[in-house]
Structure 1
Amino acid sequence: MRVGFCGGGLGGISAAIGLADLGFDVDVFERSPLLRATGAGLNLWPNAGRAIYGLGLRGRYDAISVKLNRYLGFNPDGTPLFEKDTSDWALRYGAPSVGVHRFALSSMLAETFGMDRIKFGYEVVSIENNADKVVCHFSNGESYEGDVIIGADGIYSTVREQLIGAVPFRQNDHHAYRYRAVINLSDVDVDPAAQTTFCSPGGWMAVIPVGNGKAYWFGSVFGVKNLDEFIQFFSSWTRTHIPRTLSITPRDTIVESPLYDVDIPYKWTHGRVTLIGDAAHPMMPDLAQGASQTFIDALALREAFAKTNNADEALHAYESQRRPVAYHVVKCSQKGGFLGKNKVDPVAVRYEREVEASTAASL
């Protein structure tokens, strides 16, 4: 079976690894000229780890990630707000919660699949669904015909738009932007085996270790319109590391991301084309499940094709399993963060209750 992936991010390459392991003829097309790794770091949860292990990547994944043994929360004056021990999660849930550098993860996946097998500079412009074949046309004038096409091209997916047209994006109810960057772990006064968060009702910032001596910081503030306003919000938090951390982070390394999701559970599979990851289920980052759900898509796609040689049956089985679970997580992710207006619990507590307990059987 010949399968083409439009998108060489985390979801596209991990799913390509899974289908290549089944003996399929797999091609990955990426619009960027080089391997892309939008963002800086990731907190990946046990459900992501189980999926990555299921794709045969356990040793490589464990080598580049940092186990998070605790989730710690503090007020702006340094007063403790919560502590959640997660040191036994690997035993309890089959994989730990980890921090990982996004580019290290992307590189590991690309090297596993074969960097020379990824076709860079291929931006999809149109797709033709022709019964049992699909043709994908690229902006460079080339075309590809396969038995199946997987749209793994992110939140602003061209493949999705070809299938169902434009979708209405929904803005975050709690904050418009998230800011993030990677710096040296030794420059930040935080627990090197924990996610450490300082938060107030107006804004928050967290840090996790991501390996190779690096730390990933990320945060949001209600009502800010730019990076200067974000930095200014924390200027009085002098009993925390945050003012200094922001001052030593090179501004050109700070990523600003507007926050959107899609609140409509549209159909993913049309003919021999389906969607995975952010193309299928864009979600807010407040439950930190976007990337985790993408890896689960990748494993579910592999398992569906492992059970049948009929592409239509496999695509139907994949979507039937994943879409209800993914949209449950989309809705949970809309509740916002700790100390926000919806008074939700810390993210590690929410993960156990809203994701692990309610969706594990479907993962």
Structure 2
Amino acid sequence: MRVGICGGGLGGVSAAIGLASLGFEVEVFEKSPTLRATGAGLNLWPNAGRAIYGLGLREHYDAIAVKLDRYVGFGADGEQLFSKDTSNWPQTYGAPSVGVYRLALSTMLAEAFGKDRIKYGHEVLSIEDKGDRAVCHFTNGESYEGDLIIGADGIYSVIREKLVGGVQFRPNEHHAFRWRAVVDLKDVDVDPAAQTGFYTSGGWLSVIPIGNGKAYWFGSVSGAKTLDDFIAFFSGWTKTHIPRTLGITPRETIVESPLFDVDGLPFKWTHGRITLLGDAAHPMMPDMAQGASQTFIDALALRNAFARSSDVDEALAAYEAERRPAANYVVKCSQKGSFLGRHNVSPVAIRYEEEIEAHVA
């Protein structure tokens, strides 16, 4: 079985690892010139850990991930708002909640699959389903023909647009942007085994450890349109670490991401010998921190579907039947916003148990 995967991010490479373990001939095509690792840090939940373990990567994952034993939240005045103990989650849910450096995770996956097997500089131009095979054409003039092509080309997927179109994005009702960066953990006054967040109805900022002495901070402010707006919002939070943390973060290292909500999810992922995976299949807001986690679950589900059936159409139908309703449910959860926002949702660690683990079949 020849499988082409368009997208060399977390989803594409983890799917490649899973399918290659079945003996498939897998090739990964990535539009970027080098390994893609935007986003700086990640909070990955037990459901992601279980999927990564299922792909045979437990030892590698545990070596780079920092176990989070607590989620704690404070107000702008430094008073504690909540605390959630998650130290027993590995026993309860089969894996810990973790913080991880995105480049370390991407590198781990690439090395597990084989760095030299990822073909960079391959941006999708068009794609064709030919019944018993599929063909993808790239902007560099090259083409690939295989028994199956997987579109793992991200939230603004070209393959999804070519297949189904109709997916529109609208400004998010909660926050227009998210800002984030990596700093030295020793320079931030937070618990090194926790996600530490500071919240008001107008904005928030959280910090997690991500390994190698580094911390990842990320936050949003309602109405903020520039980095200066974001920083100014926290200037009076002098009973927290935030003004100092923002002050010591080099501005050129701060990543700004516009937040757009999806309006109309793909009603179908699979079209003949072409299917979607990860953000290409279920673009979601980051407020549940489930985008990457759901992507790893997709990769394992696809691998398991082909382990159960050698019939391509049957395996793809089983994969989509298992994953599309479940992922779309999480998309809806992610649209509710963050703690102390307008929908009055609980802190994310509590929501994870109530809205994610409680719905695991």
Structure 2: give runs of 5+ residues left out of the alignment: none
- Quote the Cα distance in structure 2 between the aligned partners of 1:34 and 1:285: 25
Aligned position for 1:60? 60
Contact 2:169 2:262 in 1 (8 A): yes
Aligned position for 2:107? 107
Contact 2:11 2:299 in 1 (8 A): yes
One-letter identity of the residue aligned with 2:123: E
- Quote the Cα distance in structure 2 between the aligned partners of 1:269 and 1:171: 28
CA shift at 1:173, angstroms? 1.3
CA shift at 1:264, angstroms? 2.1
Contact 2:167 2:265 in 1 (8 A): no
Using structure 2 for the length normalisation, give the TM-score. 0.99
One-letter identity of the residue aligned with 2:297: I
Give every structure 1 segment of 4 or more consecutive aligned residues whose post-TM-superposition deviation is greater than 3 Å. Answer: none
Give yes or no for the alignment of 1:130 onto 2:138.
no
1:155-178, CA deviations, whole angstroms, 9 ceiling, x for partnerless residues? 110110110125211321110111
Aligned position for 2:264? 264
- Quote the Cα distance in structure 2 between the aligned partners of 1:261 and 1:9: 21
Using structure 1 for the length normalisation, give the TM-score. 0.98
- Quote the Cα distance in structure 2 between the aligned partners of 1:53 and 1:170: 35
Across the aligned residues of Structure 1 and Structure 2, the Cα RMSD in angstroms comes to: 0.7
Contact 1:18 1:55 in 2 (8 A): yes
One-letter identity of the residue aligned with 1:277: G
- Quote the Cα distance in structure 2 between the aligned partners of 1:247 and 1:51: 38
Aligned position for 2:295? 294
Contact 2:167 2:263 in 1 (8 A): no
Give yes or no for the alignment of 1:350 onto 2:355.
no
Instruction: Give the 3-state SS of the residue equivalent to 1:315 in structure 2.
Output: helix
Contact 2:172 2:261 in 1 (8 A): yes
Aligned position for 1:308? 309
Instruction: Give the 3-state SS of the residue equivalent to 2:314 in structure 1.
Output: helix
Contact 2:51 2:300 in 1 (8 A): yes
1:1-30, CA deviations, whole angstroms, 9 ceiling, x for partnerless residues? 000000000000000000000000000000
- Quote the Cα distance in structure 1 between the aligned partners of 2:263 and 2:292: 18
Aligned position for 2:244? 244
Aligned position for 2:218? 218
One-letter identity of the residue aligned with 1:258: P
- Quote the Cα distance in structure 2 between the aligned partners of 1:261 and 1:78: 31
Contact 2:71 2:85 in 1 (8 A): yes
1:281-322, CA deviations, whole angstroms, 9 ceiling, x for partnerless residues? 000111110000000000000000101111111111100000
CA shift at 1:262, angstroms? 1.9
Aligned position for 1:20? 20
- Quote the Cα distance in structure 2 between the aligned partners of 1:167 and 1:55: 30
One-letter identity of the residue aligned with 2:38: T
One-letter identity of the residue aligned with 2:148: V
Contact 1:148 1:273 in 2 (8 A): yes
Contact 1:260 1:282 in 2 (8 A): no
1:314-337, CA deviations, whole angstroms, 9 ceiling, x for partnerless residues? 111100000000010000111111
- Quote the Cα distance in structure 2 between the aligned partners of 1:116 and 1:69: 37
Aligned position for 1:335? 336
Instruction: Give the 3-state SS of the residue equivalent to 2:168 in structure 1.
Output: coil
- Quote the Cα distance in structure 1 between the aligned partners of 2:314 and 2:264: 24
Give yes or no for the alignment of 1:144 onto 2:144.
yes
1:166-223, CA deviations, whole angstroms, 9 ceiling, x for partnerless residues? 5211321110111101110001000000000011010000000000110000000000
